[in-house]
Amino acid sequence: MLALAAVPVLAGADSLRALHVIALGMHADTTRVRIGEPFHIAVHVRVRENVAALDELVIPDVGRLQIIGDERHTTHGAAGTDVVETITLQAAAAGTYAIAPAYLDAIDARTGRPSRFSSNPLTIVVAPPGALLPQNPLGGLLRVLSWVALVLAVLALGAAVIGYRRRRRTPVPAPASQPAPPPPPPRTPHDDVADALRAYRVSPSGAALLRLRAALFAAAGASDGATLSDALAATSDARLRSALRAAERTAFGPANERDASSGELIDVTAGWL
């Protein structure tokens, strides 16, 4: 899904290469921070071609925000090439900062015309030190999950110690030979969605969001490179369709609605599972 439609580009058209641009979007891990607090934005672009790099991708103009880190990762698969660039930023002064769209210029392989493909813009609100920020709906969930994981780890360790002491005190006869256990059942798209949801709950990063979105598309029966409309047309499962829409809003919707849509994505996906 492109955040904005491609627009014609004339200057330097002779130097452009032909690409099928399937997706270009930008996502922030938070839209409200305090002065000096680092935050991240992730730019994701997918092209159908298998290319070594996408030097055409131009990162967004971040204005007066300070860039303190920039990493670009390129992966290849049957659907083509995915590039995710993660930029770490911080602000030295309070205010509202507009981040311009990322873009790339290429020959649109569908039309043969030079075009500029642009992502969505972002708006970041920076508050003074010590200011109260709106609660992230995932924050409480993540704290609860961390606490539960710690309790389970302590209980498992205690059970292991008790079992070890009992084994040392009581000789255990050699077990009778048992038939080999049956092989585990093959993985299903349902399993992939469950794994991706667990990863997104623990660390709701841009990469984890894209993995969950891709798993939902596959569960719907959509092929690689499909759009949201394709995925919705591929399934009649109402709960899965709700999860698909929530994933699309979280990945590419308005920045001021992403925290709420992220919580909705977790809830509706868990309900479908």
Task: Give yes or no for a contact between 216 and 192, defined as CB atoms under 8 angstroms apart.
Answer: no
**H helices within the chain, ranges in order?**
137-169, 189-202, 206-220, 228-234, 238-252, 258-272
Percent of the chain at pLDDT above 90?
43
Kindly list the structural domains of the chain, giving each domain's residue range(s) and its CATH number in brackets, ordered by start.
Answer: 7-127 (2.60.40.740), 189-272 (no CATH)
Alpha carbon of 216 to those of 18, 52, 121, 190, 262: distances in Å?
30, 27, 25, 9, 14
> Residue 253 and residue 269: Cα distance in Å, rounded?
18
Residue 8 has pLDDT above 80, yes or no: no
> Residue 267 and residue 253: Cα distance in Å, rounded?
18
Alpha carbon of 226 to those of 2, 75, 81, 232: distances in Å?
12, 18, 14, 10
Query: pLDDT category, 4, cuts 50, 70, 90?
Result: very low
Q: Give the lowest-confidence range in 26-35, 74-83, 191-200, 251-260.
A: 251-260
First to last CA, the chain: 25
pLDDT at 155: 47
3 state DSSP class of 76:
strand
> Residue 49 and residue 114: Cα distance in Å, rounded?
17
Residue 30 has pLDDT above 90, yes or no: yes
Query: pLDDT category, 132, cuts 50, 70, 90?
Result: confident
